[in-house]
Amino acid sequence: MNIIITGASKGLGKSIAEIFAADKQGHSFFICARNSNELENTAKELQGRFPRTSMHAIACDVADRQSVNGFVKQVLQITDRIDVLVNNAGIFYPGSVHNEAEGTLEKMIEVNLYGAYHLTRLLLPYMMKVKSGHIFNICSIASLAAYENGGAYSISKFALYGFSKNLREEMKPYNIKVTHVLPGAAYTDSWSGSNIDTARIMEAADVAKMIYAAAHLSPQACVEEIIIRPQLGDL
Ligand X SMILES: NC(=O)c1ccc[n+]([C@@H]2O[C@H](COP(=O)([O-])OP(=O)(O)OC[C@H]3O[C@@H](n4cnc5c(N)ncnc54)[C@H](OP(=O)(O)O)[C@@H]3O)[C@@H](O)[C@H]2O)c1
Question: Which residues participate in catalysis according to the annotation?
Answer: 153
Q: Mapping DSSP to helix (H, G, I), strand (E, B) and coil, where does residue 10 land?
A: coil
Please report the DSSP string for 13-37 in residue order. Answer: HHHHHHHHHTSTT--EEEEE-S-HH
Q: Segment near ligand X (CB under 6 A), from 1-9, 127-135, 163-171, 222-230?
A: 1-9
Interface with ligand X, residue 223, by CB under 6 A? no
Q: Which residue in the set 46, 82, 89, 109 belongs to the binding site for ligand X (CB under 6 A)?
A: 89
> Which position among 1, 91, 205, 235 is part of the footprint of ligand X (CB under 6 A)?
91
Are the C-beta atoms of 149 and 95 separated by less than 8 Å? yes
Strand partners, 55: 29
Question: Is residue 62 close enough to count as binding ligand X by CB under 6 A?
Answer: yes
Contacts for 166 with CB less than 8 Å, ≥ 6 apart: none
Nearest to 108 by CA among 169, 160, 55, 181: 160
| 130 versus 228: smaller Cβ distance to ligand X | 228
Q: What is the Cα–Cα distance from 191 to 101, expressed in whole angstroms? A: 21
Contact mark string toward ligand X, 2..41, x via CB under 6 A: ----xxxxxxxx------------------xxxx--x---
Measured CA angle at 61 (ends 57, 63), to 5 deg: 150
Nearer to ligand X, 118 or 134 (CB): 118
Residue 208 in contact with ligand X, rule: CB under 6 A: no
Question: Smallest distance, Å, CB 10 to ligand X?
Answer: 5
Residues in contact with ligand X by CB under 6 A are 6-13, 32-35, 38, 60-63, 88-92, 111, 138, 140, 183, 185-186, 188-190
